[in-house]
Amino acid sequence: MPLRTCLGCRKVADKASLMRFAEREGVLVLDMKGVVPGRGAYVCALECLKQLFKRKEAFSRALRKRVDLPDITVFAGAMTGGLNDKTGKG
Protein backbone atom coordinates (compact mmCIF):
# COMPACT_ATOMS: atom_id res chain seq x y z
CA MET A 1 0.00 0.00 0.00
CA PRO A 2 1.40 3.43 -0.90
CA LEU A 3 2.36 5.81 1.90
CA ARG A 4 1.13 9.40 2.19
CA THR A 5 1.86 12.23 4.64
CA CYS A 6 -0.85 13.99 6.66
CA LEU A 7 -0.92 17.65 5.71
CA GLY A 8 -1.63 18.66 9.31
CA CYS A 9 0.64 16.64 11.59
CA ARG A 10 3.08 15.32 8.92
CA LYS A 11 2.57 11.71 10.10
CA VAL A 12 3.31 9.14 7.38
CA ALA A 13 0.64 6.45 7.03
CA ASP A 14 -0.91 4.06 4.53
CA LYS A 15 -2.94 5.85 1.91
CA ALA A 16 -6.02 3.81 2.90
CA SER A 17 -5.93 5.10 6.48
CA LEU A 18 -6.01 8.78 5.47
CA MET A 19 -8.78 10.96 4.06
CA ARG A 20 -8.05 12.51 0.66
CA PHE A 21 -9.07 16.06 -0.20
CA ALA A 22 -9.00 17.51 -3.70
CA GLU A 23 -10.11 20.57 -5.63
CA ARG A 24 -13.22 20.58 -7.77
CA GLU A 25 -14.32 23.80 -9.48
CA GLY A 26 -12.25 25.89 -7.06
CA VAL A 27 -13.72 24.35 -3.89
CA LEU A 28 -12.14 21.86 -1.50
CA VAL A 29 -13.94 18.50 -1.59
CA LEU A 30 -13.55 15.27 0.36
CA ASP A 31 -12.62 12.52 -2.10
CA MET A 32 -13.75 9.40 -0.24
CA LYS A 33 -13.27 7.07 -3.20
CA GLY A 34 -10.04 8.62 -4.47
CA VAL A 35 -11.42 9.31 -7.93
CA VAL A 36 -11.27 13.11 -8.22
CA PRO A 37 -8.56 13.88 -10.78
CA GLY A 38 -5.58 16.04 -9.92
CA ARG A 39 -3.46 16.58 -6.85
CA GLY A 40 -4.69 15.35 -3.49
CA ALA A 41 -3.98 16.39 0.08
CA TYR A 42 -4.25 13.80 2.83
CA VAL A 43 -5.42 14.29 6.43
CA CYS A 44 -5.34 11.69 9.20
CA ALA A 45 -7.86 13.03 11.72
CA LEU A 46 -10.51 15.64 12.42
CA GLU A 47 -8.11 17.47 14.76
CA CYS A 48 -5.62 17.87 11.93
CA LEU A 49 -8.40 19.14 9.67
CA LYS A 50 -9.43 21.74 12.25
CA GLN A 51 -5.81 22.84 12.51
CA LEU A 52 -5.58 23.19 8.72
CA PHE A 53 -8.77 25.25 8.51
CA LYS A 54 -7.06 27.82 10.76
CA ARG A 55 -4.22 28.02 8.23
CA LYS A 56 -6.42 28.78 5.24
CA GLU A 57 -3.59 28.73 2.70
CA ALA A 58 -2.44 25.19 3.60
CA PHE A 59 -4.76 23.36 1.19
CA SER A 60 -4.13 25.82 -1.65
CA ARG A 61 -0.38 25.36 -1.23
CA ALA A 62 -0.63 21.55 -1.08
CA LEU A 63 -2.93 21.33 -4.09
CA ARG A 64 -0.98 24.02 -5.96
CA LYS A 65 -4.25 25.69 -6.80
CA ARG A 66 -6.42 28.34 -5.12
CA VAL A 67 -9.28 26.61 -3.28
CA ASP A 68 -12.16 27.98 -1.26
CA LEU A 69 -12.84 26.23 2.03
CA PRO A 70 -16.44 25.34 2.84
CA ASP A 71 -17.60 25.31 6.46
CA ILE A 72 -15.74 22.62 8.40
CA THR A 73 -19.03 21.00 9.46
CA VAL A 74 -19.40 19.83 5.84
CA PHE A 75 -16.49 17.44 6.48
CA ALA A 76 -16.87 16.69 10.21
CA GLY A 77 -19.41 13.86 9.86
CA ALA A 78 -17.50 12.19 7.05
CA MET A 79 -14.23 12.47 8.94
CA THR A 80 -15.57 10.78 12.07
CA GLY A 81 -17.32 7.95 10.25
CA GLY A 82 -15.44 8.04 6.97
CA LEU A 83 -12.20 6.57 8.22
CA ASN A 84 -14.03 3.32 8.82
CA ASP A 85 -16.19 3.39 5.68
CA LYS A 86 -14.59 4.90 2.60
CA THR A 87 -17.34 3.78 0.27
CA GLY A 88 -18.91 7.25 0.31
CA LYS A 89 -22.23 5.85 1.54
CA GLY A 90 -22.21 7.36 4.98
pLDDT of residue 88 exceeding 70, the answer is: no
CA-based nearest residue to 14, from 5, 3, 24: 3
Q: Please give the pLDDT value at position 86.
A: 46
**What's the whole-number average pLDDT of the chain?**
87
pLDDT of residue 85 exceeding 60, the answer is: no
What pLDDT digit, counting tens, does each position of 71-81 carry? 888 887 777 66
Spatial distance between the Cα atoms of 60 and 46, rounded to a whole number of angstroms: 19
Q: Tell if the pTM clears 0.85, that is, is over it.
A: no
Q: Which residues contact 73 (CB under 8 A, 6 or more apart)?
A: none
